[in-house]
Chain A
Amino acid sequence: MSSAKERRARRKLWGGISYHSVGIIIVIVFFAPFAIALLSSFRHGTEASLPPLPPWPTTGFSLDAYRSLDGFGAGVVQHTLNSLFVSVATVILTVMVSLLAGYGFSRYQFPFKNVFFILIIATLMIPFQSILTPLFIMLAKLGLNNSLIGLTLVYVTLQLPFSVFMMRNAFDAVPKEIEEAARIDGARDLKLLFRVLLPLVLPGVATVAIFAFLNAWNEFLAALILLSSSDKFTLPVLMIAVRTGRLGAVNWGAVQAGIAVMTIPCVIVFLLLQRYYMRGLMAGAVK
């Protein structure tokens, strides 16, 4: 009797060991590229073009890679600020516009409501890659070519189908009774939206915000096309200049530093708001 129990316990132990051995291998495969790049970025400038074997700094910790990255374009601080401006502005505008639209679609009746909703969602079917040429010409006509604001407006539009859909569902999930009570107390329209309903749909807002941030921070093709002067470049566009190199020689240290600068904000935002990110993903997967 006890030996059977022992055998079962031993099998469970071995099962656990083999399960987590596979787990460790998976973790190494998926995490190693980040770790190698980050560690290598702290190597001495003379090691920049050597292979990362080993990846950690062997001749002392150094910020040479970041210094040489700073030598490209208008400096790494300027380009990081460009990227931050575009991402934060995209988040703020997306949240405001989709909050209002979600409220309107959820709580009001007006002519052609369903047509408008389908029109917004239907833009998901059309790849933005196919409308970049007219966007380029139209933004020039509006005086928004080579402008971070123009790029932001494009990003906000691209976020809208998902965000409006998320916010409408968030408002739909709030019981009507809460609203009726507040209405009787005299709160209506915008006051009702911001005082009473906003706290109740905050999880939806967090989901919309994290997707807007990551997509704007990471987007490459539209930024490559719509930004033309190098002081306006966002980080991914700047990195093209770094990756192309000077006089045929690529400064790989600067590349490693650039990867670290672009990766770290994404990872921090994701780890802090993981719950809301996954919620958005699930909503997309179920619908």
Chain B
Amino acid sequence: MAGPGAIGAVRRRTRRRRAGWHGFLYIAPAMALVIVFFVVPVLFTGWMSLHNWPLLGNSRWIGFSNYTRMLSDIRFMAALRFTAYYTVIVTIAIFAVAFPLALYVEKQRPFVGFYRTIIFLPVVVGLATASLLWVWLSNVDSGFFSPAAQALGLVDKKPNLLADFDMAFATIVVMVVWKIAGFTMIILLTGLQAIPSELTEAARIDGARRWQRFRFLTLPLMRRTIALALIISVTGSVLAFDQFYIMTSGGPQNRMISVVYYIFNQSFVSFNLGYGAALSIVLLVILVLISIVQLWLLRVGEDRP
């Protein structure tokens, strides 16, 4: 009775039923959320950016004035410069720590799982929590670092880590490396473990030294993974806000205002919502450009496995 013909009929019926809009019902809630809370706000940002838009009162169409305004906005240029500087330094610092850590925890040994877990622990707490923790640890009187350095006799007078730009910047970079290195380490680890061990073994037999193996075998084979880790680190750093807001409130002489922080100040402190929207569009364009570079980098990586 239930011969091949019957099964075929069932198949045909299900296929026909599935071809309509029936399946759309399943994705409808997701689409509704994405459209209402993402697509519309993006379009709305573009629309607002062409207006003078105060918090109260009527908005006024001003065309591209918000965009021409930012070209002569010294503080915005400073925010762009600072964000670029921060992104470069922190990305280098994260890689300088995460790569050795990935190599360290690569091989299966006793306790390696424990080490990985502990290194990863700061990743799962919030950046806001980490900033709060470190602003206390770096406090000159009630914190840990300065009093400990004095107690150990390393310094005569307790240094105030958050008082001048370079020290505060260095403290924030160390905090972010502590917080993020575990994440980059795991990404790099997936790349390391994808390298066939026969290859490394063959290179070892051919007499390649450890550094040579790393330089000419491991690195080229990890191009894709490195590109991915790099993009994630760059994207996160360009969008940095919590650490500057919580740890230094914009820093000594307001020199630690990142782009997101500046947008926040314009939109929600000065309530120049239109100008804030125009700045947001610039940020959005920067991030989309980074994404395009990412797709290109990852594709290039694929061409040469």
Contacts and interface: CB of A to CB of B under 8 A. Distances in A.
Contacts of B284: 126-127, 130
B178 interface: yes
B214 interface: no
Given A51-B141, A109-B18, A218-B126, A101 B115 contact: no
B220 interface: no
A134 B122 contact: no
Interface residues of A, number: 92
Interface stretch (A24-32, A73-81, A194-202): A24-32
Contacts of B41: 131, 134-135, 138
Interface string B94-124: 0000000100100001010011011101101
Contacts of B121: 30-31, 34, 267, 270
Contacts of A97: 29-30, 33
Chain A CB within 10 Å — which of B126, B127, B187 has the most?
B126
A123 B48 CA distance: 20
Chain A CB within 10 Å — which of B10, B37, B39, B109 has the most?
B37
Contacts of B128: 218, 220, 236, 239, 262
Interface string B44-77: 1100100000000000000000000000000000
B31 A267 contact: no
A240 B190 CA distance: 37
B37 A27 contact: no
Contacts of A104: 23-27
A156 interface: yes
B287 interface: yes
Contacts of A263: 125, 129, 133
A116 interface: yes
A262 B122 CA distance: 12
Interface in B270-305: 273, 276-277, 280-281, 283-284, 287-288, 291
Nearest to A142: B36
Interface stretch (B85-93, B143-151, B165-173, B201-209): B143-151
A285 B228 contact: yes
Chain B CB within 10 Å — which of A22, A100, A101, A285 has the most?
A285
B127 A218 contact: yes
Nearest to A22: B104
Contacts of A133: 45, 48, 267-268, 273, 276-277, 280
A34 B22 CA distance: 51
Contacts of A129: 239, 241, 260, 263, 280, 283
Interface stretch (A3-11, A56-64, A274-282): A274-282
Contact of A154 (B22, B37, B133, B147): B37
A274 B118 CA distance: 12
Nearest to A117: B27
A252 B178 contact: no
Interface residues of B, number: 91
Contacts of A267: 121, 124-125
A30 B182 contact: yes
Contact of B288 (A33, A125, A154): A125
Contacts of B143: 51
A79 B148 CA distance: 33
11 contacts: A27-B114, A50-B142, A96-B29, A103-B26, A109-B19, A129-B283, A131-B45, A157-B36, A160-B30, A218-B128, A252-B136
Interface of A: 19-20, 22-23, 26-27, 29-31, 33-34, 36-37, 48-53, 55, 96-98, 100-101, 103-105, 107-111, 113, 116, 119-120, 123-127, 129-138, 153-154, 156-157, 160, 164, 180, 183-184, 214, 217-221, 225, 236, 239-240, 243, 250, 252, 255-256, 258-259, 262-263, 266-267, 269-271, 274, 277-278, 281-282, 285-286
Interface of B: 2, 7, 10-11, 14, 18-27, 29-31, 33-34, 36-42, 44-45, 48, 101, 104, 109, 111, 114-115, 117-119, 121-122, 124-129, 132-137, 139, 141-144, 146-148, 151, 178, 182-183, 186-187, 190-191, 225, 228, 235, 239, 241-242, 246, 260, 263-264, 267-268, 273, 276-277, 280-281, 283-284, 287-288, 291
